[in-house]
Amino acid sequence: MSGRFVTIGEAAGATGVSAKMIRYYEETGLLGRAERTASGYRVYSEADLHALRFVRRARDLGFSMREIADLLALWHDRSRTSAAVKAMALDHVADLRRRIGELEAMARTLEHLAERCCGDERPDCPILDDLAGGPREP
Amino acid sequence: MSGRFVTIGEAAGATGVSAKMIRYYEETGLLGRAERTASGYRVYSEADLHALRFVRRARDLGFSMREIADLLALWHDRSRTSAAVKAMALDHVADLRRRIGELEAMARTLEHLAERCCGDERPDCPILDDLAGGPREP
DNA sequence: ATGGACCTTCCCATCATGGGAAGGTCAAGG
DNA sequence: CCTTGACCTTCCCATGATGGGAAGGTCCAT
């Protein structure tokens, strides 16, 4: 109800989204055009801060800006189904799990190579040998 | 010993590094300046292909170009110690594990939220509630 | 009125990669 | 010999999300 409005710096401090990113989100259309004072300063209402925190939280959960735009649309759509939201979330989880698997494979490969490397002052190193020769050489 | 030289397209096909990236690696100094024909075409020797495969493999293991430059230097340095290589590899593993941990935390959070979301035709959704209100609201 | 903290827009950089245009080169086939 | 198509060259631009910084305007407290 209150008509309190804050500047972009205060909005940044209150939401954890940098002023730079707030402008960027506006520029790219993720968020609507902010209100302005007569002198051109952006001003933010409590509702705006709410949206910024939403974006921040979604970003922390690894959603892309494209996905966040979709989530915002679902958030604002009163006739959305929870099934739609859940599907998006699970899609994203699958994507995260896929990326985790890739990194995990890299880490395991490197750990195996490192195990076989004595790590002393001599130059012989199975890690470089693998990089040089590839893992499937005879 | 053979003097076989191939064009950039053949080098790309033989190493799995795109022609675009081969030029980019040269431009940024990751790889040395390629030999040229009289008409300006780049030509690659077996040794060049070997280096390209090295870069490809390191890239597949998630090393950054900066790290790959270091690895190439170690590879070419006959007086390197295997300890130095192992240290780089384990540093990179630690970095991978850290990133895995971050993604894992995101995935787990979303999975917990999704579990609590019935995913039916109704609009009520704990996932959006979390995004809107944050996880530490009363 | 002045100074400092803030705001504005605009441009540039990152990292690794791809797209595409404009133009030169090469090999094969007519 | 000439055309055709596949290849090569350089150059510029774009991505996604973010930061840095310059040049200039605004606001508020002293």
* Total count of domains within chain B: 2
Indicate whether A28 and A75 sit together in one domain: yes
For the stretch B51-88, pLDDT in tens is: 999 999 999 999 999 999 999 999 999 999 999 999 99
For the stretch B79-126, pLDDT in tens is: 999 999 999 999 999 999 999 999 999 999 999 999 999 888 888 899
Q: Alpha helices of chain A — where are they, by DSSP H?
A: 8-15, 19-27, 46-60, 65-76, 82-116, 126-133
Return residues with beta carbons within 7 A of strand C. A 7-10, 19, 23, 40-42; B 18, 20-21, 24, 37-41, 59, 64-66
B119/A110 Cβ within 8 A? no
Q: Which of B60, B71, B81 sits opposite A122 (nearest CB)?
A: B81
Indicate whether A69 and A106 sit together in one domain: no
CA of A24 to C1' of C20 (A): 27
Is A85 part of any domain? no
Task: Please report the residues numbered 13 through 52 in chain B whose beta carbons come closer than 8 angstroms to any beta carbon of chain A.
Answer: 50
Indicate whether B55 and B88 sit together in one domain: no
Indicate whether B16 and B50 sit together in one domain: yes
Is A86 part of any domain? no
CATH number of the domain bearing residue A16: 1.10.1660.10
Indicate whether B45 and B87 sit together in one domain: no
Residue B91 confidence (pLDDT): 94
Indicate whether B5 and B59 sit together in one domain: yes
Residue B3 confidence (pLDDT): 58
Indicate whether B59 and B94 sit together in one domain: no
Burial class (CB in 10 A: 0-12, 13-18, 19+), A2: exposed
Nearest residue to nucleotide D19, by CA–C1' distance, is A20
**Mean pLDDT, 10 residues at a time, chain A of 138 residues:** 81 96 95 95 96 96 95 94 94 95 95 92 92 62
Is B121 part of any domain? yes
Indicate whether B116 and B85 sit together in one domain: yes
